[in-house]
Amino acid sequence: MEQTGTTLQLKTYTNTANMSGNNSSRGIYQCLWEDRLDERTALLGEADPYDPDLIVQEVEIAFLQDDASCGYAQLTVTSNAADSNKTMHIDDPPKVSWEVSAEALTISGNAVWKDGTGQYPAVKNKDTKATIRIPLIKLKLEGIKSSWSLANIVNHIGRINSDVFQGAPAKTLLFNDFQAQTRPDGKFHVEYDLLYKPTSWVKFWREDKAGGPGWEEIGLGPAGGTSPYELVAFSNLWSS
């Protein structure tokens, strides 16, 4: 058996190609039982030990019970063709994807226009068109993190960015949803779903705007001092 790691030893190795020409492999290894988790962590998401064009996608662990192998674990390692768009490494910058949609306008009943006049006129139904469709872009951040704070993410849900994030100006990103899973190696596979509104989450279409219809910022309360969405810095969203 050929030595490939600390106590990891190769028993059998099969490399195959399908009709599309995509390679895959299946290797059977053994290592000391106490090393099994460290070996799996070292393999997952990395280049296959015998074919650097393949990425290890799955590592299954089984206990070897025969007398000759007592105290050893068997690792079944499955690798597939590397895809630069799908392969993720621990603590790399997130993979970013965009999806375009649209939404209709909805406005709170106690909203006022923040038009700079100091008058703060109330937003009335006749001022806006509920049928206007606003471009809405879904932004997904996905990656593998060695540490992850639930409290930090909960602090962002339903709030908008107070700073520039992923190139998006302040007040244009809304943190909508997230998913997080603990991997067998103790790391976290996370996905954050944000909604990007180019016109800003605090601006709405105003029919009677001075100079002609256009986008105008709104606020809540008599002087519009309360933002319709709470603001929070997104700069530490991925780093913590």
| pLDDT for residue 4 | 46
| Inter-CA distances, 62 with 14, 27, 31, 59, 80, Å | 19, 14, 11, 10, 21
Distance CA 229, CA 157 (A): 11
Q: Which carries the bigger pLDDT value, residue 123 or residue 107?
A: 123
Distance CA 25, CA 15 (A): 4
pTM above 0.85, yes or no: no
| pLDDT for residue 109 | 59
Query: Chain-wide mean pLDDT for the chain?
Result: 80
The strand pair at 160-161 and 231-232 is best described as: parallel
The residue type of 85 is N
pLDDT digits (tens, 9 = 90+) for 185-233: 788 888 999 999 888 998 887 777 788 778 888 888 887 778 889 999 9
The residue type of 5 is G
Question: For 192, left (φ over 0), alpha (ψ -120 to 50), or beta?
Answer: beta
Per domain, the residue ranges of the chain are 2-81, 95-232
pLDDT digits (tens, 9 = 90+) for 119-172: 777 776 544 555 456 677 888 888 888 888 888 899 999 999 999 998 899 999
CA 9, 36, 146, 47: dihedral to nearest 10 degrees? 20
pLDDT digits (tens, 9 = 90+) for 6-41: 688 999 999 887 655 578 899 999 999 889 888 888
Distance CA 157, CA 204 (A): 22
Q: Could you tell me if 12 and 30 are in contact, meaning their C-beta atoms sit under 8 angstroms apart?
A: no
> What is the rounded end-to-end Cα distance, in angstroms, of the chain?
43
pLDDT band at 85 (very low <50, low <70, confident <90, very high): very low
- Read off the tokens for 2: 């050929």
Q: What CATH number does the domain located at 2-81 have?
A: 3.30.200
Alpha helix stretches (DSSP H) within the chain: 36-43, 150-154
Distance CA 25, CA 82 (A): 12
Distance CA 197, CA 173 (A): 6
